[in-house]
Structure 1
Amino acid sequence: MLTIPRSLYELAPTTLASNRSERFDGAGYEVPSAHFAPPDRILLDRVYRAINGLPLLWNSMRHAPDYTALEDYVRRVEAEALMNDAKHLGEATRATGAYTPAVRNALHDIRGGGLTVFLGTAELLGMVPGDRDMIRRCVDAARDHAKIMRNLLPDIDPVVRAADEATKAHGIDHFTSKWDGMATQGPTGPVSVGVQCAFEGAISARCLETSSIDRVVYNYVNNAVRFAAGGAVTLWVFPVADGLTRWVVQNAIAPDQSAFLAEKAGPGFERLFAGGVTRGGTGVGLANCAEIVADCFGLPSPAEAVRHGYLGATTQGTDYHSWFHWPAYSPTTQRTDSRVVEQLTGVV
């Protein structure tokens, strides 16, 4: 039986109320394509088609995967300067003066999210060609990022977006299996992710909610990968109360990063989740996380969520911990035909 360190229980209260009368469904962050300038619409469509093509290819052969074909696709997409397209997203919209906070927040997670992990893992795959586990990790990251894009851009793939909205329970293994053993390229070398999970059961009621959880986890892990001293990141998932789970991302940090946080992050590190505090990034990612978690629990503001420990960050010795909470899901008798969802989305 996995033993959770007491220090992880002490990060925040273990009883946190929800003000929602109905479960958070993952919606509410949509930015229609009309909000982007035409050149950005072209880039968004190109990024989505490139990233979504990999899980679609996997789905067409999932019972007898052709790993050579999958690896060829990964290399071809990487060679097509996918990250370059993502890097220039928003430039045309900014030039029109229509770069709203909603556009900015959406583009942050479209440039990052699973795309960052996909590209980092694809880079490692180039060093160990033929590694089947790494190929599958690329598929998982691409699948997740396509879902994130459909969550944020409702008209980029409306038919599949409709499937994402349908009720379908997602177990915790949907998250733990893809992260445990994940390896990606960090700024100074490879970084591995390990998972320690003491929760069993369902955590999400639909793909749209799953993509909201993914937005938080990818922001946390991508930040951890950037600053991990020693090349290792650990994701902890465990219950803290009946129907309530805590997710903690832990990584060692260098003394200069610890000093930066002590100087800039504020008491309780609350400034990290308000936007603007960053080293080489934008400061938007953790603010997005605070908004999502506050919405999940029906809180009046992201600041309220941070203030009461629904999410947060701290250092303990040489380790940095960032955490958030999410309610477990108890499936009802309502069912969705998963075969339809699989056909539409590629991988569930």
Structure 2
Amino acid sequence: MSNLDPRPAPTRCGGEAGTGPVHELLTARQVPLGGSTVVRRLLPNLGRRMVGAWCFVDHYGPDDIAGEPGMQVPPHPHMGLQTVSWLHEGEVLHRDSLGSLRTVRPRELGLMTSGRAISHSEESPREHARLLHGAQLWVALPDAHRHTDPAFEHHADLPAVTAPGLHATVILGTLDTATSPGTTHTPLVGADLTLTQGADLRLPLEPGFEYAVLTMSGRTDVDGALLDPGSMLYLGTDRRELPLHARTGSSLLLLGGAPFEEHLVMWWNFIGRTHDEILRARTDWETTTRFGTVHGYAGPRLPAPQLPATPLKPRGRIR
């Protein structure tokens, strides 16, 4: 997934300890993503830039794309992060500069680790389902792993946690006793929660993690706060359980992790630590083969936007 904003602002992230339990409703902004797709961007947000190492969250759909191109994101670069593709409806065809070609389907994990450099494209297949609904997420890589070799993983069978009224698919990390096969580099969790109408339960959490919940569909009381589809609630830290009550059949994404303590800069599709590092990456995308070539996409790759006039400065989360 690319940030298609032609004037992306620098995002200063990381560096803040736990906050204790809170309720902080994050307001999405509408961002066109190419083709007929418009996403609701929830992270980075003016009020909250990260949840653990999760640093970018787009929610889209459900969109009726019958007769439409659907998602069309041309080849673009990434550095210093992992991308997570997660679908509830539809399919996304992933191509990358490693030669990977994979169709990601609902409740399957498409996980790309950019490491030092990779490029990829994402598109709805030519013959696609009528509806498209999902989320695209990024995970920031810590300094010890951000120069690793790029890689792509596809996991069709993921572990689950079940309880009366609950089916939780573990996307990344560990929830309760279930651990995803997806590669992680910081302590974190991502889980897709499906609740039946009337379900009333308490989900076990790690008190050292900070958490947020994104409503994909339905209406659910999350720790007493009613969440409608497309809304995201930041919950802070120091929680051992999360009360959930489904007013309708509902689907939620639970995102959590140890607070990310490193200072970093996120600009366009790059995560780095200094202005010069980001400048080098932008120049390399425009002039060298560092990020490789995506073969098979029917169209040109994305050009890099212009950097802001003032130097990018790495800072922590505290404003």
TM-score (norm 2): 0.28
